[in-house]
Amino acid sequence: MLGRTLILRILSVRDRHIHRLLKLRHIIVEPEEELSSSFTLTRKISLFKSPERMEEGPYKCVRDGNGTVNRVIRMGTRKSQLARIQTDYVAEKLKTLYPDVHLEIVAMSTIGDKILDTALSKIGEKSLFTKELENALERNEVDLVVHSLKDLPTTLPNGFTIGAVLQRESPHDAVVLHPKNSGLTLDTLPDGSVIGTSSLRRAAQLKKRFPHLEFKDIRGNLNTRLKKLDEKEDYAAIILAAAGLKRMGWEARVSQVLGPEDCMYAVGQGALAVEVRARDCDILEMVSTLHHSETVLRCIAERAFLRRLEGGCSVPVAVNTEVKDSVLSLTGAVYSLDGADSLKEAMETSVDPGNKLESAADIQHVGVTAHNVPQCAQVAAEKLGVDLANLLLSKGAMEILTTARKLNDAR
């Protein structure tokens, strides 16, 4: 009965895969078995594959007491506490949908985790927080990877796709004050106060908005940056993503949330993404149930905007999106490093599919495969991002970004 439940849940998403999905074997609860894993979940679950399906790749499997071969779904993640929390959150979501699927979490360090004495924008490497994870995915050492969507480049390596974009937390940035500055805001901090941020985007916008403040780079994970803030007096405050603080349970440290009038956010900020091998249809089907339609459309528009601008962490690009009454609005901006020169525009489009019937299709939109979100809405969202970027490019955005890159490289 459990196996029937799993199959029916998946078929409700895509009927056209009936024949393939019926190859999934029935689910049998597996005896507790010790697995080598860098992180242990309280409950372990298993997606079982028939032996003939195992020939498609070197999957990790275990056998139950009856000799049935059971596939283990290995989830790749960074080693930081926040990354673990985010991956555990995704695992719990999957366990709710598929109570008998067996998960193993595999943690590893990335380039961005190892190089802590250099600003991210100066490292000169793409995929700073994703490359090692994607290498493991390519080598079949993991079956899926959980990312902060903002860390994923807008063009993924061949053979990979974003199989799930979960409901977004607040995408905004937050101010965390040094304890001695309790009760103040960025507006009321004394002239010359030093604000720590690891982002050119944040620094460029906030320099323009708060010219009386000084902005300096600060590296490390959330724990490290908060420790640097609290244990020394080098910084009056630091700027962090509100979503990360919430996931860590540190909302009480938030002194001020920065709205779009102060600081627009990074592409994909606040959203979690699950990256999979595009050919691994069963895993793609399983994680696709985690898609949140509104978040998918917003992030497709944002990623299309960034990709058309050829942006990344080495240039200040910011966005703001909203879906209201089936209308997707996108505001996008580019900045010089000091924020003095900028371009900002907004556009909107309908994402209402109406009564249009569509067949499911594995079409990627800026790396996202979301067959349970209307294709016409995804096409409209991607076009919106490209159109807005083209508008900014026609007004000189590339010149601003090129100058920003050169100045950043020269620092």
pLDDT (0 to 100) of residue 15? 40
Task: Tell me the C-alpha distance between 131 and 159, whole Å.
Answer: 14
- Judged against a pLDDT cut of 90, whether residue 325 lies above it is answered with yes
Domain ranges of the chain: 2-167+271-291, 173-258, 295-410
Determine which of 164-178, 323-337, 342-356, 378-392 has the lowest per-residue pLDDT on average.
342-356
The CATH class of 2-167+271-291 is alpha beta
Determine which of 6-20, 271-285, 313-327, 342-356 has the lowest per-residue pLDDT on average.
6-20
Give the DSSP H/E element, type plus range, for residue 20.
helix 18-21
Q: 350 or 126: whose pLDDT is higher? A: 350
- With CA atoms as reference, report the closest residue to 383 among 355, 359, 347: 347
Using alpha carbons, list the distances in angstroms from residue 219 to 197, 227, 244: 8, 11, 15
Q: DSSP alpha helices (H): ranges in 271-317?
A: 281-288, 293-309
pLDDT (0 to 100) of residue 128? 55
Mean pLDDT of the chain: 83
- With CA atoms as reference, report the closest residue to 272 among 64, 78, 103: 78
Q: 404 or 17: whose pLDDT is higher? A: 404
Same fold, 2-167+271-291 and 173-258: yes
Question: Can you list the positions of beta strands (E) in 37-193?
Answer: 61-63, 69-71, 73-78, 103-108, 144-148, 160-165, 173-177
Q: 7 or 157: whose pLDDT is higher? A: 157
Residue 24 neighbours by CB under 8 Å, 6+ apart: 3, 6, 7, 47, 48, 49, 50, 282
- With CA atoms as reference, report the closest residue to 213 among 179, 242, 180, 237: 237
pLDDT (0 to 100) of residue 221? 86
| Mean pLDDT across 292-320 | 94
- Look up the pTM and report it: 0.83
What's the pLDDT tens digit per position in 147-200? Answer: 999 999 999 999 999 999 999 999 999 999 999 999 999 999 999 999 999 899
What's the pLDDT tens digit per position in 32-47? Answer: 333 333 333 333 333 4
- Judged against a pLDDT cut of 70, whether residue 50 lies above it is answered with no
- Taking every pair of Cα atoms in the chain, the longest distance, rounded to a whole number of angstroms, is 72
Residue 151 annotated as catalytic: yes
What value, to the nearest 5°, has the Cα angle with vertex 24 and ends 18 and 28?
Answer: 140
CATH architecture, range 295-410: 2-Layer Sandwich (3.30)
Using alpha carbons, list the distances in angstroms from residue 83 to 13, 233, 273: 28, 28, 12
pLDDT (0 to 100) of residue 90? 98
Spatial contact of 62 and 85, defined as CB atoms under 8 Å apart: no
pLDDT (0 to 100) of residue 129? 61
pLDDT (0 to 100) of residue 362? 72
- Judged against a pLDDT cut of 50, whether residue 227 lies above it is answered with yes
Spatial contact of 374 and 358, defined as CB atoms under 8 Å apart: yes
Q: Is 71 left (phi over 0), alpha (psi -120 to 50) or beta?
A: beta
* Tokens (6 digits) for 74: 């290995």
- With CA atoms as reference, report the closest residue to 186 among 162, 206, 208: 206
Give the DSSP H/E element, type plus range, for residue 393.
helix 375-394
pLDDT (0 to 100) of residue 38? 33
pLDDT (0 to 100) of residue 242? 98
In this structure, the number of other CB atoms found within 10 A of the CB of residue 51 comes to 10
pLDDT (0 to 100) of residue 27? 31
CATH architecture, range 173-258: 3-Layer(aba) Sandwich (3.40)
Using alpha carbons, list the distances in angstroms from residue 335 to 165, 200, 210, 321, 408: 28, 9, 15, 18, 13
Catalytic residue among 88, 100, 151, 262: 151
**Confidence category of residue 262, pLDDT binned at 50, 70, 90:** very high
**Confidence category of residue 12, pLDDT binned at 50, 70, 90:** very low
pLDDT (0 to 100) of residue 358? 66
Residue 39: DSSP 8-state: B
- With CA atoms as reference, report the closest residue to 243 among 262, 261, 258: 258
Q: How many alpha carbons lie under 13 Å from residue 406 in its C-beta half-sphere?
A: 6
Task: Tell me the C-alpha distance between 136 and 367, whole Å.
Answer: 18
* Tokens (6 digits) for 401: 């970004």
Q: Which of 16-30, 51-65, 98-112 has the highest mean predicted lDDT (pLDDT)?
A: 98-112
